[in-house]
Structure 1
């Protein structure tokens, strides 16, 4: 049975639909008169950017654009943006782009509201109070950052990326317009979608915890719960039904819309339910190989599901039945295997590699990667099957060989 406990953390306003980017001017004007827009060089050069700036101006909003957002969000880039915009003193910060742009908006808002090293806030519940309102406008379907309490950055003093997790970082407003994803190339659509699916599956199969009145105020990730389950299962159904089409036919607005909705649902799911082993392991793998987050997640997810079978069979079986990979007459073990096979099959069809060798991981680095994975404590302890360095190494070994591992007792 699912736990009779639920937590949802979400923006004050969540607006979804084709063309809804045109609500940005009014939404920003409701919150302030000076807006900093955090985006990247590619998006800033598109005609739609001029339309967005004209909409802000028409609503009496003065806008300054920072178009220097870098992939994987290095600390230096965040500090550069803060230095450039401090004199402008924005009332509102808009994150317009992929996950890095939205995370930049969150962290710039945090820095402006609570000056000092960002390292003061690494971890959970270390943001001392409200930040300037953030409006998140995603242009990819994957991170779910538009609705989550998490921002991730690359600090050169740390071996791998670090997170700041606090409900204070949830954007005030999320505007999800699938038309903005139409120019997203197939490869990025695939790995972004894999990340979204991992958010949903890992949240749905997260550790259930005994509810206490203060858990939601002391843990960002409370584990499996009835509200995150609702969003996770809806996300999984949408992504299985539409992601392959969105990758193959990027101009299919209906498919793009359903994938974006699935990504947003996944963000709402893991914003309280949390993620697990695939995300914990990807952080050091990504740092080692300098590869995109979603790519590593897509490779690792089926192997972490294999590892988790003994602890998460019921959840995986429910997923299999929800997506039509198993019928009501199939046993739990059979349906569980069908879910894992369905994930592998979908990822293969959208072009995600099946082995860590394909992104440059070497056998002699597995022990070090396993140890580093354990430092993502909030993810490790959220995994349904207990994780230790030996268990993580077994996952890495299977993923390196490109072969499922045997059942884990």
Structure 2
């Protein structure tokens, strides 16, 4: 038996943002918008505020999300939310804003620690209703029951997966992502690609999630470079928004694997953005796992190009070459671009490898690595 978990409502497509007040007003007339200062400066809230004003709703904005979500940022947002008697929360932004809002919505109704919830302590009470509006095509957080929060004292990224973190509704409007810079488009797109790839090969994959995974992979491979080079192309933006959503549905139900398990410690220890650390690890992890996923990679290659002929090994290698070419053309920076020296990277291997294992994600990989193998994969991902 399989189970598929989704938000109660998903609105997607051009101008879907105008539906937001119809959703939010069902919970009451006072809402908190959690976002960042860049979103505000780009006037991306205009249509949302106009929609809320039409329903005569009152709203306030917390725009203090300024990095990937940490316990400190969540604490500030939570304190802001506690001062008002809000009926709902609207998260507007990338995964950082949405994950922050998820944590706030849960902690408004529940007490507990990130470590406890990540270790399985059940969140007992329903969260404050959350409507998620992504402005990047990457994390898919708008349709997942997952939040990732960094403990700044321990340098640990906690991935917490419980139904309480699932937004009530997702509003996915491609026009909201048109202002994303090329660099953000590339890194968030590769994050979504990792979600799709990992959920397809995961030991927890199921028939329906594999359909979402395949569709997302195809949409990203065909549209990411187009949007990277031509950000105003609404067709490619729409396809990427759909892909990120599909990949989010897939991994929320089938789980991520080794790439994300290893990526989170890189972000926590060396403060490298999540999408970049995924991209840096992608080739090394796939090469390690390839002996067990040749048939899956061949399936992907045939889905991308039904006319392609060859053995499973040839088709798998063809897909991997296409993947490497895409990453190269997106000009993903190296570890050193973020000030990480090789000696510092090597010094952190023990902590990163242990934290990767502790996250649980590597257990979903078709080949489950040892700590020493994870260290070797980290070293294989190093590029000067």
Same fold (TM over 0.5): yes
For residue 347 of structure 2, what is the aligned residue in structure 1? 365
Query: Aligned to 1:188, what secondary structure does the other structure show?
Result: helix
CA distance, structure 2, for counterparts of residue 361 and residue 8 of structure 1 = 43
1:66 aligns with 2:62: yes
Residue 116 of structure 1 deviates from its aligned partner by: 4.4
Instruction: Give 2:14's aligned residue.
Output: 18
Matching residue of 2:169: 173
Q: Residue in 2 aligned with 1:350?
A: 330
Question: Are the counterparts in 2 of residues 357 and 400 from structure 1 also a CA contact under 8 Å?
Answer: no
Q: CA deviation at 1:68?
A: 0.5
Judge conservation of contact 2:7–2:143 (CA < 8 Å) in 1. yes
RMSD of Structure 2 on Structure 1 (CA) = 1.8
Note the 1:183-332 alignment, pairs <5 A. 183-207=179-203, 223-324=204-305, 329-332=309-312
Using the TM superposition, give the Cα deviation of residue 119 of structure 1 relative to its aligned residue in structure 2, in angstroms. 4.0
Change (3 A) 1:205 1:241: same
Q: Is the 8 A contact 1:356 1:399 kept in 2?
A: no
2:158–2:359 Cα contact (<8 Å) kept: no
Comparing 123-132 with 84-93, greater Cα deviation is found at 123-132
Specify the SS of the correspondent of 1:18: coil
Please name the residue that 2:135 is paired with: 139
Distance 1:13 1:309, change over 3 A: same
Q: Which runs of 4+ in 1 moved over 6 A?
A: none
TM-score normalised according to structure 1 size: 0.89
Aligned residues of 1:141 and 1:193 also touching (Cα < 8 A) = yes
For 1:136 and 1:401, locate their aligned partners in 2 and report how far apart those are by CA, in whole Å. 36
Q: Aligned partners of 1:376, 1:97: CA distance in 2, in Å?
A: 29
Report how far residue 115 of structure 1 moved: 3.3
Deviation at 1:350, TM superposition (A): 1.4
Other-structure match for 1:211 = none
Q: Are 1:79 and 2:59 an aligned pair?
A: no
State the shift of 1:32 in Å.
2.1
For 2:154, the equivalent position in structure 1 comes to: 158
Deviations 1:308-344 (A, max 9, x none): 11111111111111122x8553111121222222211
* Separation in structure 2 between the aligned mates of residue 338 and residue 125 of structure 1, nearest angstrom: 44
Q: Measure, in 2, the Cα distance between the counterparts of 1:33 and 1:297.
A: 40
Query: Which structure dedicates a bigger proportion of its chain to helix?
Result: 2
Secondary structure class of the residue paired with 1:272: helix
| 2:34 match | 38
Sort the Cα spacing of 1:43 and 1:358 in 2 relative to 1 into closer, same or farther, 3 A: closer
Cα distance in 1 for residues equivalent to 2:251 and 2:98: 17
Shift of 1:358: 4.7
Q: Is the 8 A contact 2:10 2:171 kept in 1?
A: yes
Instruction: Determine helix, strand or coil for the equivalent of 1:330.
Output: coil
Whether the aligned pair in 2 keeps the contact of 1:289 and 1:361 (CA below 8 Å) is no
Q: Show CA shifts across 1:226-270 (max 9, x none).
A: 111010001001001101000000011111110111110000000
Moved more, 155-164 or 224-233: 155-164
| 1:374 counterpart (356, 361, 373) | 356
Report SS of the residue matched to 1:47.
Answer: coil
